[in-house]
Chains A and B, each alone.
Chain A
């Protein structure tokens, strides 16, 4: 029966080409526009760490100005830690894994090659980074434990950097020069480019992940400052000069993550943090009310507003747009179905039930939905490529459609058209056959 209805529907669509084209266009444009924006928002709110959402936490400590909260964050606690707090927390053995890190940059050269030097985005981090964020290794592995606290010139390369410098060969044990100093390659990671970069949402969350990774113990030797946000409130001196004064200062610039596998471990860690802050208070630091927050990745994305107000406004505009298109399709379908009323009258007179008339017309709207959906996918791909152009390369990773979103587009189109067809199909199924029989 459904096959017959579909063939009836197609025949009916061909019978009124202009009205049908208008309906398909209304659904297609509605689905196309809304899927363009919804795809963008969906891709932007991906959580690459969803599978570890129960065990990973971003750490925030309120070390800020006694006179006012940290205005730039949504919970009024700095997103990052001071160096002295980060190194103190690293001494705890409660978390299964823990990472202190920030963004940096090196010039990269290789001895005896004439490759031009380039600047590489770098992550200065502790060795647990790779295991904690599930970074796959192609060759070698992370650096030894002591490199996190004492200067060791080791480096882990990204796959692409390894291709650029070593043609993709196993480069473990080779030397690269960073800022002119020799570093030994200890590992090469495989393709790894989460979007958004849940682990660092501070600086352009949709940029590519880093090209180099170096140990956290290098700060003093290389006098490393962050290539990301550094915020301070206390510009006064702490009795220390130069770089040491910066390290022991109150500026926040280190990102901190911990892996806590169960509730017990989490409670222990919370007790540890409470104790640590109390101890610091006794030494005159942490003058604000005792406050720290452990945030899982999914909430970290929300707290950092990866999806900002503009995205939300566009999302609602897209949904409202689709709604208008649906109302439009209701009106057009009503017009079309009522015009076909005599035909339905004859079918009714020949014995078709109201239900049969209703489902036949609903299937016709469904067909409009499928056609509109397919056209809509094309339109939203066009829309997304338009967005990529407008974004000047800043959205190449998020303004793309995956299979999920394509199926969602067709699903949305069918849903929209069925919704639009519901009233017109009901209306036509209620027609009194005798009216039409009289005038035939």
Chain B
């Protein structure tokens, strides 16, 4: 029931209640202009320290309260944030001009000291955002509103992740005892776990982790609000059915995510609709190419996945369109590379290997496995959209070329404990999703395709241990190449090698699905950050 009809009803009921209602609305402030956005997400917002966890959802939430030197606009293009402008003086020196007149929520001024402080804090031992700036970069205060960054090696994508590296207030942090980032290994929690002081359009009004968080507009904000909100109430709702029900019942205005199977239902309701679009996350399958023998296979004495033809046979056995239509209900975008189409200008030059089980069978036979073989597959069941169902589909498709896959699907906490470095990369065949934090190919080439040792040095998320020195050499050059055309050409070369060798099987970009009441306007960026400063309640 909206406030206005409520007031009308009260007037209909008689004068005494009307007076009471008027008094109540006076006490509550003007009810007609209170625009509250009630938002529910499947996960929780934990500690409020913006350097504690490098995770999209938390960083997106903090992005309403804090700001970085740069921002990303609605199309993910880098735009000025707390830095008005910047110039690359020479390949090793960047100069940032800071915005003047910016105040933190507590009224403190923002200036170069805060930037230097934030640069030290984000590199502190307990920070989880150390990758935001090079560990060996030097930060120099030129004057109150100019900062110079001195690098040891050229880095054209230095500022690519600075939209989520938020500027903190030096005075506030020192006064609150929040100089070093809150970490799980602290024996006593720092105040930054439940306090915040940013320059952003909103501020935290209250925060009960796992229960409820209330945001209020920041009256000291330097910018012009594009939203019309007076309050945002965030509640985690973990259970899918309850989250959808809360939206349909009108108890919340916005939910993330809507399970794929509930999208028709949300669209069918006259008051709600689903907001869908491609996400930057790419789902892929990978092979153990490191061990000399697969622990879970009946092939002994050799590792079939070391043969590129076997990998290509698997690739051609996967019917990506069937997965899109049946498993993802058309909410996926098949991709030829391990990076989302939006993030690499040259992705249009690449094509997936065609779906062709006959060719796959032949490749397997030529490789010496005419009757196929057995292998186990590891898969999370609560991490990506329909992850387990994708794996099941792949298992049945691979059966058609004679490969018997034993599926081991388990919750992400156990899956990652097994397949990452601490578990000794204990997997022969797996499904993994990846979003490059920097939204750039170099991140993909190193993390997913860099040669690694047993502890993960080199390519920590290259679970299968694919290794091609040429790709590594290209990645090293790409990192320092400041000429965009040359850089893109080298990226193209690296991806060509990986595609020809079938280093992995890229599957698709999954889709974002938010549910909202129809009177809400909000921008859905492919990075899945929920940003209130573009939200309107109509």
**A and B assemble together:** no
